[in-house]
């Protein structure tokens, strides 16, 4: 099979699993929005935003190392995974506790209670662990296992959310508890399966030097999460209903861009393994960018339907979604530049780029949201993306 045809086939398989995952996520959003309303859903999302920022910090960017080095040398993959997990678990646990303090500081009504602590610990550990294990499967080309790991987590969450629905309860505390319990059960099942399949051994001597190698991946992931999630605690100061509308629009963007995610996830191993032909990579990259522009334009058409689907409390989500129209294209171009730099083993420059973009994201949100509200949050996202593209272009053109 031609390289481009093989790439499209693998992209189709990844797309199937991403669609499954997004379907479960979309159902979860729909269930929470309809039963909790914009206020309750916004509170739930605000807690997710706090945990979401700590997830890339907990994984330390080591998923990128697993994917890149595992694709190049599959024989060393399990040794690498054992070393990564030895570093991961104490960091993930410590950051989970820190996240609870952050939630109590930034979010109205959040508190630092046991239930919030349980929820945040489960969210951070589950997301960071699944990220590492799924990258292991992706590096080996095991797309079915990769997809099952990605889709299984939101499915477990959906089952958790179904419990308060059947109990006809709108108590957010019950929703948090049921959500966390089902995710814990899923994690136990995944850990049992992974250990029986690969028997990875945790390293007694933690090689913290790996963190230094993975630091560019960590900074990049943390910067992206900061850009996507830091605005929510600030928007929450204006009301949780505002957070609910903003998050609903973001979820629509994520769902609509699934084909883009599938095409990109299948493209990265070709970049990193150095086996992809230049012409095929250029054609695939151009196709992804064209689709990103098409999907962005479609947001304007989809926007008026949101209140009809989610409820009258989400009227504000329509205008927000229309403003996201050009964001997918900018993000795709940024991801392609990242992959090109990483494939050339020049990822150290990404540390500088994403360190400054993280600072810029925080400052722009802090200054623009109090003045312009949600519109300020959207403007900050665009300005940060454009700044990152400028810096990445400079590094690529310099060639050093």
Statement: residue 264 has pLDDT above 50:
yes
Summarised one tens digit per residue, pLDDT across range 297-318 is 888 888 888 888 887 788 888 8
Statement: residue 219 has pLDDT above 70:
yes
Summarised one tens digit per residue, pLDDT across range 129-147 is 999 999 988 888 788 888 8
Statement: residue 1 has pLDDT above 50:
no
Across 169-175, average pLDDT: 84
Distance CA 127, CA 53 (A): 11
CA distance readout (Å), 115 to 66, 81, 135, 175, 184: 33, 31, 30, 10, 14
Distance CA 289, CA 282 (A): 11
Number of H helices, E strands in the chain: 16, 0
The pLDDT value given to residue 224: 74
Q: Which of 137, 108, 375 is nearest to 236 (CA)?
A: 108
Q: Residue 363 CB: number of other CB atoms within 10 A? A: 12
141 DSSP assignment: T
Scanning the structure block, which residue is given the tokens 């030097």?
A: 209
The pLDDT value given to residue 223: 77
DSSP per-residue letters across 314-343: GTHHHHHHHHTTTHHHHHHHHHHHHHHHHH
Position with higher pLDDT, 320 vs 3:
320
Across 18-46, average pLDDT: 85
The pLDDT value given to residue 364: 92
The pLDDT value given to residue 3: 53
Q: Which of 245, 257, 254, 258 is nearest to 310 (CA)?
A: 245
- Global pTM reads 0.71
The four Cα atoms 22, 92, 228, 119 give a dihedral, to 10 degrees, of: 70
pLDDT band at 156 (very low <50, low <70, confident <90, very high): very high
Summarised one tens digit per residue, pLDDT across range 288-300 is 888 888 888 888 8
DSSP per-residue letters across 86-136: HHHHHHHHHHHHHHHHHHHHHSTTTTT-HHHHHHHHHHHHHHHHHHHHHHH
Summarised one tens digit per residue, pLDDT across range 77-114 is 888 888 888 889 889 989 988 988 888 777 765 555 78
The pLDDT value given to residue 159: 93
Position with higher pLDDT, 240 vs 6:
240
Statement: residue 189 has pLDDT above 70:
yes
Lowest pLDDT segment from 41-50, 92-101, 209-218, 258-267: 258-267
Query: What average pLDDT does the chain have?
Result: 83
Tokens (6 digits) for 218: 């960590």
CA distance readout (Å), 235 to 107, 229, 368, 373: 10, 10, 11, 7
Query: How far is Cα of residue 329 from the mean position of the Cα atoms in its chain?
Result: 17
Distance CA 258, CA 251 (A): 11
Tokens (6 digits) for 151: 């889709």
Distance CA 257, CA 23 (A): 13
CA distance readout (Å), 175 to 6, 152, 179, 380: 43, 19, 6, 32
In sign, the C-alpha dihedral spanning 263, 267, 269, 270 is: positive
pLDDT band at 126 (very low <50, low <70, confident <90, very high): very high
The pLDDT value given to residue 138: 83
Summarised one tens digit per residue, pLDDT across range 325-366 is 888 889 888 888 888 887 777 767 777 888 888 888 889 999
């Amino acid at each position: 099979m031609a390289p481009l045809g093989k790439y499209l086939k693998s992209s189709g398989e990844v797309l199937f699993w991403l669609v499954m995952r997004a379907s479960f996520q979309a159902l979860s959003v729909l269930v929470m929005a309809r039963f909790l309303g914009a206020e309750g859903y916004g509170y739930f999302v605000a807690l997710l935003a706090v945990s979401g920022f700590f997830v890339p910090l907990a994984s330390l960017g080591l998923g990128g190392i697993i994917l890149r080095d595992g694709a190049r040398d599959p024989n060393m993959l399990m040794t690498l995974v054992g070393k990564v997990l030895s570093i991961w678990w104490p960091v993930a646990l410590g950051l989970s506790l820190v996240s609870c303090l952050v939630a109590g500081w930034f979010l109205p009504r959040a508190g630092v209670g046991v239930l919030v602590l349980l929820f945040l610990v489960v969210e951070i550990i589950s997301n960071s662990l699944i990220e590492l294990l799924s990258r292991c499967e992706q590096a080996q080309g095991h797309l079915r296992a990769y997809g099952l790991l990605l889709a299984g987590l939101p499915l477990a969450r959906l089952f958790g959310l179904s419990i308060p629905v059947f109990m006809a309860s709108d108590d957010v505390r019950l929703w948090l508890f049921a959500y966390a319990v089902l995710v814990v059960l899923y994690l136990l099942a995944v850990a049992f399966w992974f250990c029986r399949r690969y028997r990875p051994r945790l390293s007694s001597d933690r090689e913290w030097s790996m963190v230094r190698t993975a630091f560019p991946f960590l900074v990049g992931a943390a910067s992206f999460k900061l850009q996507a999630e830091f605005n929510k605690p600030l928007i929450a100061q204006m009301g949780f209903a505002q957070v609910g509308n903003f998050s609903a629009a973001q979820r629509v963007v994520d769902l609509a861009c699934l084909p883009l995610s599938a095409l990109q996830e299948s493209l990265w191993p070709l970049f990193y393994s150095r086996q992809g032909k230049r012409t095929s990579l250029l054609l695939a990259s151009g196709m992804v960018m064209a689709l990103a522009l098409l999907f962005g334009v479609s947001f304007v058409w989809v926007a008026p339907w949101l209140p009809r689907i989610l409820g009258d409390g989400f009227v504000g989500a329509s205008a927000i979604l229309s403003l996201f129209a050009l964001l997918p294209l900018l993000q795709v171009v940024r991801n392609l530049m990242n992959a090109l730099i990483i494939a050339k083993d020049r990822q150290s420059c990404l540390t500088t780029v994403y360190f400054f973009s993280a600072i810029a994201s925080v400052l722009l949100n802090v200054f623009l949201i109090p003045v312009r509200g949600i519109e300020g949050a959207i403007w900050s996202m665009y300005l940060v993306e454009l700044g990152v593209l400028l810096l990445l272009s400079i590094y690529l053109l310099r060639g050093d």
